[in-house]
Amino acid sequence: MTEMGHRMGEDGRGRGHRMDDLFVLVVAPEPLAATIAEETARGLIGIADVACAADVVEAAALVTAHPERVVPLVLITAFAESPESTDARIALLDAQAVLSRASVLLLTDRALHDDLSLSVDRDRLHAVMTSPWSPGILAWHARAQTVRWLSSHRPADPRTRALVAADGRPVTQPESDLLRLLELDTHEVTTQLLAGIERVLGPRPRLLLPAGTRLIHEGIDVDAVLVVLRGRVALDHASAAGDLRLHHDSTGSVVGLLSLAQQQRAFFTARATTEVEVVHLSFEQLDRALAVEASLGAAMAAVSIRALAKRLRRADQLQVEKTQLNHALERERRQLSEALHQLEQARLDLVEQARYATLGEMAAGIAHELNNPVAAMLRATTYVGEDLERVLASHPQGRLASEIFAAERDRAPRSTREERAARRRLEAALGDVGLAQRLFDAGIEDPDRARTLAADPPSLDLVEAVAGIGSAVRNLELASRRMCELVTSLRAYARPKGEPVAGIDLHAGLEDTLRLMAHRLRDVEIERNYGDLPRIRCHPGELEQLWTNLLVNACDALGEGADGRGRIALITDAPDAAHVRVQIRDNGRGIDPQVLPRVFEPRFTTKQGAVRYGLGLGLAIARRIVDAHGGKIELNSRPGCTRVTVTLPVAGPPDEEDIET
Amino acid sequence: MKLALLILEDERPVREALRRDLASFARHVRIEEAEDVPTALEVIEEIDTAGDRLALVMVDHRLPGTSGVDFLIGLADDDRTAAARKVLVTGQADQEDTIRAINEAGLDRYVAKPWQADALCDMVRDQLTAFVVAAGVDPLPHLAVLDAERALSIVRERGDL
């Protein structure tokens, strides 16, 4: 390991700046390392010292042993005989933090490297030199790299300030005209270009043009350029969507140059956006100036590259903006499509609702039509029953006939199980299955009476016939009553409105309904929890229909619930001075959550082969009644607790509210 | 041994109407009624215990807590009742249920409500005969409720009866 070079003078440290020792590290086998180090040191006088390591392992050991050293540059050789790949060796160097920040200069004697992809990919290769090298070139390279490193890593270091100008460019100018000109700002290059042109053509007049002047015209051949010395120019392109401003900040200083270079019609219209000061140069003038003054070529190239670079950057920017815009558009398109989907869904819901409403209206219409025949049928059934009683009474065996008829007509329902058991008893008593069945069907269960009748065939015939009439009348009455109920509930859909009545006691209405429904509520425990309610203005008949529907609903829910005794709770209170509230709770099986949002829609369900009006229509009517009263109905349900809450205004329905469908 | 006919129907007026329309069979066939599936199963048990044969089941499709089709499918899986003729008597069963009844329960007939009494009796006679023929039951004691010609043709075909 060798150390060479010169240390910084004491004055450098004395100024109180942090002046770390800078070391350029040479990684090469001896004796080559010494040669490289010596030449490198010559380029780094006053900047950095040079240290050598025979290989990457030694290099790592060296920086570990001297943690205070800062390494701006590593020179590493990659000769053909190296067993390891150059990538691997550079990666090993990079394992040391201080080296991973250094620039890497590769010195190679190979014509081709296929072992540098990682280093290039990770931006760890800063310069490649061929060995052997021309004398002095290594010192020059090492210095340039070190200065570059200092300007980007140590801008505040006094050594950096001595080497690098305030704008970050190295104090030493590039040697080539082109790169030198490119380092200048646009205005300076333009000034130099114009100066060169004027040396050939003599002084050129300045043209002063106001804002809005078109300097070149889209679609027209360009045969002159305008050198812009002051002011701003925009480049616009006419498109189907109107004039597009493509460049403004990115307009070059020689307008028309690119079109001229391509011998094409102008793609843009160049328009002054401020007052401009320009110099007009025809194609021939420019040609002559360039031919006479060779150095003008570099200035033209620099101006062109500048303009191109600006426009290219602008184009890149536009590309990025376009991509972002496309993303935004795509996002909006998705949102629109989602909104469209929701609208379509809403439309379908509306159609569905309209369909239900139509069905409901149709049902109400049919119910209207059926009302009279059904009422007539119910009455006729009653008359037939009454008249039959009189006819039977006139029969020679009038007492027997009337008794059997009445018994059969009024026979209470029994389960088929009970009936079977009763029949078995009769069979056992009579010992004749066929006879027992006949007598049983005629309503005779008492064995003694059965025996008497069995011995009297004419009476048995009469009893059988009269029992048949009795059960037929009963079934007729039952059937017509059911039809009547159905028609009534359907008619409620289109019930005409009367005038609301004031001073109604809501509890009285509830109690009336409970009384009317007593037959259905026989097995249900009713719990009342009535609060103090003001008398309200309402349609009392409508409200009874409302309570009926809600109670029927609660009953139905209990009916199919298997757990224990059914319970319905009625809770009333006044949430505020202007409203009364009725809650009907049941402990039934609850309403299917999927159905819950639609329970207030009028509809028909076909379930297990039966058309049912119950749930849908009953609640739909309830909703209609509550709405017509200007109130609110809510339903919450979970298994074991369904709660319908009706809130009504004490003042009653809004005046012009129309309850009709 | 008697042939038995089971009516499974939850509405009393409908049961009574069926029973009355089938009154002419009552003298020779054991007619039983059930309003729900548990009762129907009890009845089947009783018929079996008494040594009678369940020949025909007439089931309403719509029943409390279950469907007639499910009940029929259950019967098809039971040795005692698999041979019984199965009839759906219903106001409305949708196509899917009906297909299930045919494919899984071997449904024999579908009677739509309201029915005609004559047609109902013909159907019952026809089904009882089909049962007797298929189950190899001696038709002679039951001739009154059978299609006599069809029933007797098996007697002629089979020497052992």
Average pLDDT, chain A: 82
Question: Residue A446 gets which letter from DSSP?
Answer: -
What pLDDT is recorded for position A581?
A: 95
Tokens (6 digits) for A279:
């110099």
Residue contact A479–B13, C-beta within 8 A: yes
Alpha-carbon torsion angle A569, A574, A579, A580, nearest 10? 30
Could you count the other beta carbons within 10 Å of the beta carbon of residue A320? 10
Tokens (6 digits) for B40:
């129907």
Nearest residue in chain A measured CA to CA from B88: A609
Q: How far apart are CA A628 and CA A609, in angstroms?
A: 34
Helix, strand or coil for residue A82? coil
- Across the range A206-225, mean pLDDT stands at 87
Give the dihedral sign, CA A413/A416/A419/A421: negative
Q: DSSP characters for A382-414? A: HHHHHHHHHHHHTSTTHHHHHHHHHHHHTPPP-
Please tell me which of the candidates B19, B30, B67 has its beta carbon nearest to residue A608. Answer: B67
Stronger pLDDT, A511 or A654, i.e. the higher one: A511
- Across the range A153-167, mean pLDDT stands at 75
Contacts of B23 in chain A (CB under 8 A): 441
Count: domains in chain B? 1
What pLDDT is recorded for position B40?
A: 94
Give pLDDT tens digits for A410-469. 988 888 899 999 999 998 988 888 888 888 988 899 989 999 988 998 999 999 999 999
Contacts of A609 in chain B (CB under 8 A): 61-62, 67, 90-94, 97
What pLDDT is recorded for position A18?
A: 54
Give pLDDT tens digits for A99-136. 999 999 999 988 888 888 999 999 999 999 888 888 88
Q: Smallest CA–CA separation between A609 and chain B, in Å?
A: 4
What pLDDT is recorded for position A562?
A: 47
Name all contacts of A474-477 with Cβ < 8 Å and 24+ positions apart: A474/A408, A474/A409, A474/A410, A474/A411, A474/B13, A475/B12, A475/B13, A475/B16, A475/B17, A476/A381, A476/A384, A477/A378, A477/A381, A477/A382, A477/A385
Q: Compute φ and ψ for A658, nearest 5 degrees.
A: -110, 115
CA nearest neighbour of A645 among A511, A527, A550: A550
Contacts of A478 in chain B (CB under 8 A): 13
Helix, strand or coil for residue A340? helix
What pLDDT is recorded for position A507?
A: 92
- CATH: 1.20.120.400, 3.40.50.2300, 2.60.120.10, 3.40.50.300. Which one for A3-172? 3.40.50.2300
Please tell me which of the candidates A416, A438, A475 has its beta carbon nearest to residue B35. Answer: A416
Contacts of B72 in chain A (CB under 8 A): none
- Across the range A336-361, mean pLDDT stands at 78
What pLDDT is recorded for position A8?
A: 40
A418 touches chain B (CB under 8 A): no
Please tell me which of the candidates A416, A560, A609 has its beta carbon nearest to residue B62. Answer: A609
What pLDDT is recorded for position A329?
A: 94
Q: What b-and-e string marks burial along A623-636, b requiring 16 or more CB atoms within 10 Å of the CB?
A: bbbbebbbbebebe
A606 touches chain B (CB under 8 A): yes
CA A197 to chain centre: 63
Non-local (6+) Cβ contacts of B11 within 8 A are B60
Rounded to a whole number of angstroms, the CA Rg of chain A reads: 54
What pLDDT is recorded for position A103?
A: 92
- Across the range A324-334, mean pLDDT stands at 94
Give pLDDT tens digits for A289-301. 888 888 888 888 8
Q: How far apart are CA B161 and CA A72, in angstroms?
A: 119
Contacts of B20 in chain A (CB under 8 A): 468
Distances (CA, A) of A655 to A103, A541, A658: 90, 18, 9
Q: Strand A224-230 vs strand A276-282: parallel, antiparallel, or unpaired?
A: antiparallel
Confidence of residue A76 (pLDDT cuts 50, 70, 90): very high
What pLDDT is recorded for position A607?
A: 41
Please give the residue range of the domain that contains residue B93.
3-157
Residue contact A420–B32, C-beta within 8 A: yes
What pLDDT is recorded for position A490?
A: 67
Give pLDDT tens digits for B18-74. 998 998 898 899 999 999 999 999 999 999 999 999 999 999 987 766 788 889 999
Confidence of residue A657 (pLDDT cuts 50, 70, 90): very low
Report the percentage of chain A scoring pLDDT > 70.
Answer: 87
Residue contact B26–A437, C-beta within 8 A: yes
Nearest residue in chain A measured CA to CA from B34: A416
What pLDDT is recorded for position A263?
A: 66
- Across the range A529-557, mean pLDDT stands at 86
Stronger pLDDT, A267 or A49, i.e. the higher one: A49
Give the dihedral sign, CA A556/A561/A564/A567: negative
What pLDDT is recorded for position A300?
A: 85
Name all contacts of B46-52 with Cβ < 8 Å and 24+ positions apart: B47/B4, B47/B6, B48/B80, B51/B1, B52/B1, B52/B2, B52/B3, B52/B4
> CATH number for the domain including B55?
3.40.50.2300
Give pLDDT tens digits for A458-515. 999 999 999 999 999 999 988 888 888 777 766 665 554 567 888 889 998 898 888 8
pLDDT over 80 (residue A38): yes
Contacts of B32 in chain A (CB under 8 A): 420
Q: How far apart are CA A419 and CA A404, in angstroms?
A: 18
Residue contact B92–A475, C-beta within 8 A: no
Contacts of B43 in chain A (CB under 8 A): 420
CA nearest neighbour of A641 among A567, A531, A578: A567
CATH number of A499-649: 3.30.565.10
Contacts of A470 in chain B (CB under 8 A): none
Residue contact B90–A475, C-beta within 8 A: no
Q: Smallest CA–CA separation between B126 and chain A, in Å?
A: 22
Give pLDDT tens digits for A548-600. 888 888 887 776 544 567 889 999 999 999 999 999 998 887 877 777 777 77
Q: Which of B16, B45, B145 is most worth mutating to test chain A (most A CB atoms within 10 A of its CB)?
A: B16
Statement: the pTM of the whole predicted model exceeds 0.80 = no
Q: CB contacts < 8 Å between A and B, how many? A: 55
Question: Residue A608 gets which letter from DSSP?
Answer: T
3-state DSSP of A282-312: EHHHHHHHHHHCCCHHHHHHHHHHHHHHHHH
Q: Smallest CA–CA separation between A466 and chain B, in Å?
A: 13
What pLDDT is recorded for position B159?
A: 63
A412 touches chain B (CB under 8 A): no
What pLDDT is recorded for position A659?
A: 43
Confidence of residue A215 (pLDDT cuts 50, 70, 90): confident
Q: How far apart are CA B129 and CA A545, in angstroms?
A: 53
CA nearest neighbour of A617 among A360, A352, A370, A355: A360
CA A416 to chain centre: 60
- Across the range A527-551, mean pLDDT stands at 88
Lowest mean pLDDT among A180-184, A280-284, B7-11, B16-20: A180-184
Looking at domain A179-294, its CATH architecture is Sandwich (2.60)
| In chain A, where the domains are located | 3-172, 179-294, 378-491, 499-649
Please tell me which of the candidates B13, B19, B27 has its beta carbon nearest to residue A478. Answer: B13
